Chains A and B, each alone.
Chain A
Amino acid sequence: MAVLRARKTNNEADQPSSPVLRFGSDKPLKLDAGTLLSPFQIAYQTYGTLNDARSNAILVCHALTGDQHVASTNPVTGKPGWWEVLIGPGKIIDTNRFFVICSNVIGGCLGSTGPASTNPATGKPYGLDLPIITIRDMVRAQQMLIDHFGIEKLFCVLGGSMGGMQVLEWASSYPERVFSALPIATGARHSSQNIAFHEVGRQAVMADPDWHGGKYFEHGKRPEKGLAVARMAAHITYLSEAALHRKFGRNLQDREALTFGFDADFQIESYLRHQGMTFVDRFDANSYLYMTRSMDYFDLAADHGGRLADAFAGTKTRFCLVSFTSDWLFPTEESRSIVHALNAAGASVSFVEIETDRGHDAFLLDEPELFAAINGFIGSAARARGLTS
């Protein structure tokens, strides 16, 4: 089953089951690394209908291991879309009203050009021959997708975590194309601690002998053990101590007593192993390296002479930021410093901190206060944009 799924993931890289937009040599993607990516492709999903004025489009930016299947069944896992709790007909982001676009980021592995995609120069997967991809590169590609739809101004750009970084980059790079921005559980830069966690994950992948310097497809292998360990470590950072304790405590897994061995005696061990194992079925190891690197490199203030407020100078975009009390990956202070910068830039900004013990992952879960905030913000932005309900 795992092998089948692995093959399926690999196929999704070149021939995704979602719509795909291909750019030929006449339209290369300019990368921050200093090179051009060409040809390249963007895989995407849309939900709802674009209105005649093209004013009801919402772009959803996915997180580290997300994909374009935000509100429909994932073709690799067969599971519901990753934000179906929020987006869909009659939901808070109502696809009967809005035209929702979500694309796989450049560097991803579900159909947009990434390390698992075939390099036209060699006929083999890019592997590490793909230049490093930045958050700004992802956004530049998304902007070309938005052009393709003939959308001048997005009604809203939203996303959490790495998706939130893209939202901030959108608002900073293309302020005239973003009417409202909703960055959730994110930061304007990746902290030292977060880079450290990512480095542990990358080293785990690269230490797996099946990684083969990134050329594992050519050896008919995949560094599953390394990637699983990377995911296990990362997964801990998405939760909180309180939530782990509430959910698992020191409970034992299918046994009455300790075994005095290294089996998964504790439920938390068993849970993490399961998280690691299911992750490798759906995600490409090299893509994981590229995604984590893009976040590490993100520093919006550094791109603007060290002053974050200058990233938003003169902006007319309406902002709403959301953080969670137990998120230790992107603590509230990260959002607050963005809010202060937006204040200094004279921007319209709302900021909600939500009390929860569910950690960073709270943004993906059924959080009534999160939904109330998004609902209020989207509603008032829609009135200001002249969108009738």
Chain B
Amino acid sequence: MSVNRDQRVDLEVVANLIPPQSRVLDVGSGDGSLLELLQDTKQVDGRGLELSQRGVNECVARGLSVIQGDADKDLEFYPDKGFDFVVLSQTLQATRNPKLVLDELLRIGNRAIVSFPNFGHWRVRLSLFIQGRMPVTKDLPYSWYDTPNIHFCTIRDFVNLCDELGATVEKATALDANGQKIGLSMPWWFWNFFGQQAVFLLKR
């Protein structure tokens, strides 16, 4: 939805976290890439919620079960624990109330999978530190005035929010600029510095 589609290296990481035949809700399903991947490779019972009408119509034309809706407003209509997994990929930073959205994800799904661009990445820090300007990178191609991404956070920020919401981090993965996983043995500060994107598997 808000990040360059070609750069969605996180999709496979997300897909690998989901066992076959799961019930999955993809919040911010975009053009349906993840849902289609999950249906083809994992035979999941997949549903999508997408803000842009164009994205929804494309998804439905491709045979995916997707509705137009807003993560900030429409999650309340889903029942408790209605899904095995609720996925929010590259969308959290574009929501108006990320805390509420994350809370809803943990209510609706037995597990929540959240991926987001890490604002603590060294390139971002460098841009601010050296140039004194908001970063515009391959992954985050928008200028400050036209970006849909209104709530950036760092990996550390996100871990703090999970603590606040009483969510357990079952698994976390950070991807570097080349889409390679950063070694598990590395400490948080290392992830926060070199991770360009992060994928979290949460439970509450």
Contacts and interface: CB of A to CB of B under 8 A. Distances in A.
B65 A350 contact: yes
Given A350-B66, A351-B68, A377 B78 contact: no
Contacts of A345: 79
Interface centre among B60, B77, B78 (most CB of A within 10 A): B60
Interface in A297-324: 318, 320
Given A351-B56, A353-B53, A373-B57, A383 B63 contact: yes
Nearest to A337: B77
B39 to A, nearest CB: 9
Contact of B63 (A351, A355, A377): A377
Contacts, number: 64
B79 A351 contact: no
A377 B79 contact: no
A380 B63 contact: yes
Interface string B63-97: 11111110000100111001000000000000000
Contact of A380 (B57, B64, B78): B64
Contacts of B77: 340, 343-344
A371 to B, nearest CB: 9
Interface centre among B47, B62, B68, B74 (most CB of A within 10 A): B68
Given A343-B78, A369-B57, A348 B64 contact: no
Given A340-B74, A351-B68, A346 B82 contact: yes
Interface residues of A, number: 25
Contacts of A158: none
B67 A349 contact: yes
A76 interface: no
Contacts of A352: 53, 56-57, 60, 68
B186 interface: no
A324 B49 CA distance: 19
B184 interface: no
Contact of B60 (A343, A355, A376): A376
Nearest to A378: B63
A43 interface: no
B53 A355 contact: yes
A345 B47 CA distance: 14
Nearest to B46: A348
10 contacts: A320-B60, A346-B79, A348-B45, A350-B64, A352-B53, A353-B56, A353-B68, A354-B57, A355-B53, A373-B57
The 8 closest A-B pairs by CB, nearest first: A380-B63, A351-B67, A376-B61, A372-B61, A340-B77, A343-B77, A376-B63, A350-B60
Interface of B: 45, 47, 53, 56-57, 59-69, 74, 77-79, 82
